[in-house]
Amino acid sequence: MTDIARIIEIVEPQARALGFDLVRVALFGKTEVGDEEHTLQIMAERPETGQLLIEDCAALSRAVSDQIDILEAKGDELIEGAYRLEVSSPGIDRPLTRPKDYAAWIGHEVRIELSELIDTRKRFRGDLVGFDADTNTISVEEDAVVYTVPLSLVARAKLVLTDKLIAASRPIDMTGADTVVEEQED
């Protein structure tokens, strides 16, 4: 069985060395992605922009791949069998994985799935109305009811793509977007 914590120990220093914050490391099984091999997904971001450019993804992919190759050459197999390495930016409807993510996105709609029941529920979809760093709890308002959820019970959480989220998101680096190349027809 793959040890994600061990993979994070390998990936995080590579991301930090490039100036990135690690958002998430996940290993998806063959059936989850409809493929014949596992996918190791790494999400990272530049702290100042909340995004990665394609060049950033490529640099992190190379750094992680090189480090994994070094470890495997020494007999330390992190992932059994073939796998695909996927490095990306978290995107606009990003997963919420760290306390600072919840604090930064208060006022936006979220979808949260818990590892165990609270008030007979495991799933919540509503506005993120608060994050208490002292108690490590999240407040979600759904249908005019505010639920307080311990961060330790969150199995998955992500922002929901809304017009408000689009308006609030930092602009993507559009370098070179104004250059239009027209093809001539023969």
d(CA 139, CA 66): 41
Q: Taking the model in full, what pTM does it have? A: 0.81
Q: Which residues are bridge partners to 142 per DSSP?
A: 145
d(CA 40, CA 88): 11
- 175: burial class by Cβ within 10 Å (0-12, 13-18, 19+)? exposed
- Token pair recorded at residue 123: 């799933």
pLDDT tens digits along 4-32: 999 999 999 999 999 999 999 999 886 65
d(CA 158, CA 138): 13
- The most confident of the ranges 21-30, 95-104, 165-174 is 95-104
pLDDT tens digits along 126-164: 999 999 999 999 999 999 999 999 999 999 999 999 999
Is a pLDDT exceeding 70 seen at residue 34?
no
Say if residues 125 and 142 touch (Cβ distance below 8 Å).
yes
Q: According to the model, what pLDDT value does residue 184 have?
A: 37
Sign of CA pseudo-dihedral 113, 92, 146, 150 = positive
Is a pLDDT exceeding 60 seen at residue 58?
yes
Q: How confident is the model at residue 70 (pLDDT cuts 50, 70, 90)?
A: very high
Q: What does DSSP assign to residue 126?
A: E
Q: According to the model, what pLDDT value does residue 149 have?
A: 95
